[in-house]
A and B are shown apart, each in its own frame.
Chain A
Amino acid sequence: AQSVTQPDIHITVSEGASLELRCNYSYGATPYLFWYVQSPGQGLQLLLKYFSGDTLVQGIKGFEAEFKRSQSSFNLRKPSVHWSDAAEYFCAVGGSNTGNQFYFGTGTSLTVIP
């Protein structure tokens, strides 16, 4: 069965520091992978997605993620975090190769300190 694991429940970083949020997935074939961000009281906004091709994908707000098949990972990175990046981040797997169902991880809460 498909599953997504985000091992870090909560991460705190200083503004300007680099960030990496971890995501591991379990799926038999090459999945479609996504990162969503949710600000408090808000909906889910797509940051970036991976379907195929270049394993390093660029997203909005300066985020990027790298698909590593050998590690079944799709970690999210940002070289310099801004205070406005404080939010909940969800990794997801899904799309037409999972019966059009999207599976979410439990989320990582990011706190940014001055």
Chain B
Amino acid sequence: EPEVTQTPSHQVTQMGQEVILRCVPISNHLYFYWYRQILGQKVEFLVSFYNNEISEKSEIFDDQFSVERPDGSNFTLKIRSTKLEDSAMYFCASSDDRGTEAFFGQGTRLTVV
């Protein structure tokens, strides 16, 4: 069964450093998403991406964040100058051209120290 894969599963970084979280969406999907879940809190929408551009973003997704689809298979989330409060589980998701269901990856746990 096709699945969304995320790497790494756990990333530890020092405050102020840049991190790139990587995702390989399901191959025939056209919509891509990043979500964040701070420990003990709900899953929050960050950004959606379609046709090589951001289609929607939340207020959380400020200038510190960026997304990119560098090739035909990867979808990345870059966090510049990480802060302690960026520590969270980050989920990548993708959906097909009807956008009726999001398939989620296993997540990357980011710890900023």
Contacts from A to B (Cβ < 8 Å) = 32, 34, 36, 41-46, 49, 51, 90, 92, 94-96, 99-107
Contact = CB atoms under 8 A, between A and B. Distances in A.
Contact of B99 (A43, A49, A95, A104): A95
B106 A43 contact: yes
Contacts of A100: 31, 48, 50, 55-56, 95, 99
5 contacts: A94-B102, A95-B100, A100-B48, A101-B33, A103-B45
Main secondary structure of the interface of B (DSSP, over half): strand
B42 A51 contact: no
Nearest to A94: B102
B113 interface: no
Contacts of A105: 42
A53 to B, nearest CB: 13
Contacts of A34: 101-102
A51 B109 CA distance: 31
A95 B91 contact: no
Given A43-B107, A90-B43, A100-B55, A51 B91 contact: no
Contacts of B79: none
Interface in B95-111: 95, 98-107, 109
A25 to B, nearest CB: 14
Given A102-B93, A105-B42, A51 B33 contact: no
B51 to A, nearest CB: 11
Interface in B43-63: 43-45, 48, 50, 55-56
Contact of A49 (B33, B43, B101): B101
A36 B45 contact: no
